[in-house]
Structures are given as C-alpha cells and as structure tokens.
C-alpha cells in the first residue's frame, strides 16, 4: 500500500513517521470489511470505539499491543476488542496481513459468545486450530461481509439482517470452539436474569435499585458485576438495546421515527433523535432513508486499507 492510500484512510502513521490517533466513525449496527494490509499499516485509538471490533486473520500476521500485552495474530486467530478498549494494531515491519473485520453492536443473546480468554484490558484472542472449523468460520465471516456490502449498495434491509445472521454464526462458531477447548465462561445467572429482563421490557422505565433486587445483589455489587460481565453500566446497556432495536425497526419495519421511539421507551421523540444521532452519527430519518446505513462507510472500518470485492 502506498503512502497516498494510507493518508486517505487516516492512518496512525503521519508523513513524518510519528504516530497519531486514528479516526473512527460513530457506531452502526454493523460495519464490515476484508482488508489486504501492508506495512506500515497501523491503527491507534487510545480510547477505543463505542462498539465491538472483531477481526479474523486469514493469512499473514497482525500485531496487537496494549499496556502489558503484545502478541501476533496469525491465520486462524480471532481477536475481539470491547467498547472503550484501547486499539493499537497493525502489520509487522515489512509484513502483510489479510483479515476480515466487523464493527458491531451485539444482540443481547450474543453476550455469552463474547466471553473469550483475555490478552489485555478489553482485548481478547481465540485461537482456532481445527482446519474444518477455520474453513467454516472463514465462510461465515466472508458471507457476513458480502451481505453487508450488498446492503450498503442496494440499501437492502433484509440483506442487512442476513449480514447480522452471518456475524451471529461467526460468533457462535467461535464460542463453540472456546467451549470445546477451554470451557466457556458464561454470564452468571443473576446478570443473565437482568439482561433478559431488559431485552424483554425495553419500553419500561428501569432503575438500578430495581435491577439489583432482580439480581438479588446489593446496588453497588450489582453495578460492579453487570459492568464486569457485559462491558457496560446497566443503564448505558439499556440505552444501547433501545437504540439498536429502534434502528432495526426503522430499517426493516417501516415504522415512523415517533412510533419507533415510543416502542422502545423514549417518551420524547426529540430526545430520542438526539440520542440516536449521537450514537449512530446520523439522524433517525437519515438512517431510515439509507435503509439502515449507519455512520461508517465502506472502507472506514478499523483503519487504513482497501476493502476487497465482496465474495
């Protein structure tokens, strides 16, 4: 990749060779890509992003760094960064890295599938050794990327749902591999009860004290456990659930902005629009007009590389 391409995609490496923060668009439900990166490709986001980032290395190697963590992702390695986790990854010197990636907001029932061995703070890696499993993971991830590309080009709401299904298959395949190899650590029963309660009652007003009672924990203990197991404070988690479901309704069901806001628990359409715009980078009406397209565009994903054609 030449210097012009790197500058165009907002690399962490400046023309003078120094590092700078890499830009990141606001989160959408899903943004994907297939990158063929070359040195000196590198991404640096000290505060991470608002969404999750998953990468799967197909060939070559990528290097991930954090305070106290430094490892190489090789073919068959899945790497996951949770919201707010510091990003510092890229190619090895003189090296190449072929990988697929997805920025996403998880559905509630995906959370158990996101509990992998930790390499750093909010940084996880899962090594898939079985050749058959790696082949199936590759197919699912590339299908997810292909459907996401078609959704972007054709503004197809159902194509976007198919892309999310492909990502779900990828995550569940990874979770199965983790469980077979290590014994997966699932959400604890108290936190699972609260997550299921929130997902099933989006329009209801919730308070931490009420949720703590449901979990049979003190409010302080509940707050700590919930953040530790899900990555978000309970009320922030609920807000993301509401916005995610509203985005789905706007893209797929054709409901109006006012109807979508009311169905997920926003009493003020104005406040809903403000929260939605802050989270997705576009207004609800613009999001609906785009057929579910969020703030990220093709090629904006994790950093500076050109996406390959859809499979």
pLDDT digits (tens, 9 = 90+) for 145-155: 999 888 877 66
Across the chain, the runs of DSSP E, i.e. the strands, are 30-38, 42-45, 52-60, 62-66, 69-73, 77-81, 87-91, 96-104, 118-120, 123-127
Q: Inform me whether the pLDDT recorded for 300 exceeds 50.
A: no
Of 124-138, 219-233, 240-254, least confident by mean pLDDT is: 240-254
Question: 295 lies in a domain?
Answer: no
Q: Are residues 56 and 163 in the same domain?
A: yes
pTM of the model: 0.68
Domain residues for the domain of 66 are 3-182
| Cα–Cα–Cα angle for 273, 265, 270, rounded to 5 degrees | 25
Q: Inform me whether the pLDDT recorded for 168 exceeds 60.
A: yes
Mean predicted lDDT score pLDDT of the chain: 82
Q: Are residues 134 and 155 in the same domain?
A: yes
> What is the edge-to-edge ordering of all strands in the sheet holding 69-73?
42-45, 87-91, 62-66, 69-73
Question: 305 lies in a domain?
Answer: no
The CATH number assigned to the domain holding 250 equals 1.10.10.60
Among the candidates 129, 158, 182, a domain finishes at: 182
pLDDT greater at residue 222 or residue 252: 222
């Amino acid at each position: 990749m030449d210097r012009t391409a790197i500058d165009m995609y907002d690399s962490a490496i400046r023309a003078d060779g120094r590092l700078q923060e890499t830009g990141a668009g606001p989160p959408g439900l899903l943004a994907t890509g297939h990158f063929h990166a070359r040195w000196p490709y590198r991404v640096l986001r000290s505060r991470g992003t608002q969404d999750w980032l998953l990468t799967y290395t197909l060939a070559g190697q990528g290097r991930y760094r954090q305070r106290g963590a430094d490892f190489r992702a090789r073919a068959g390695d899945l790497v996951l960064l949770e919201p707010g986790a510091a990003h510092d990854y890229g190619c090895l010197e003189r090296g190449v890295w072929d990988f697929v990636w997805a920025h996403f907001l998880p559905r509630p029932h995906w959370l158990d599938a996101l509990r992998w061995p930790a390499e750093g703070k909010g940084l996880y890696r899962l090594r898939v050794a079985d050749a058959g499993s790696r082949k199936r993971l590759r197919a699912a991830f590339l299908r997810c990327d292909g459907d996401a590309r078609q959704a972007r080009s054709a503004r197809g709401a159902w194509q976007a749902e198919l892309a999310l299904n492909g990502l779900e298959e990828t995550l569940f395949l990874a979770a199965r591999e983790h469980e077979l190899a290590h014994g997966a650590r699932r959400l604890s029963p108290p936190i699972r009860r609260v997550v299921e309660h929130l997902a099933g009652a989006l329009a209801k007003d919730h308070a931490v004290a009420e949720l703590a009672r449901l979990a049979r924990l003190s409010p302080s203990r509940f707050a700590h456990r919930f953040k530790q197991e899900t990555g978000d404070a309970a009320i922030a988690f609920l807000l993301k659930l509401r916005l995610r479901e509203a985005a789905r309704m706007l893209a797929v069901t054709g409901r109006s902005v006012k109807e979508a806001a009311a169905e997920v628990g926003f009493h003020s359409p104005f406040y809903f629009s403000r929260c939605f715009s802050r989270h997705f980078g576009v207004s609800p009406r613009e999001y609906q007009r785009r057929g579910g397209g969020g703030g990220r565009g093709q090629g904006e994903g994790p950093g500076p590389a050109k996406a390959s054609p859809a499979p």
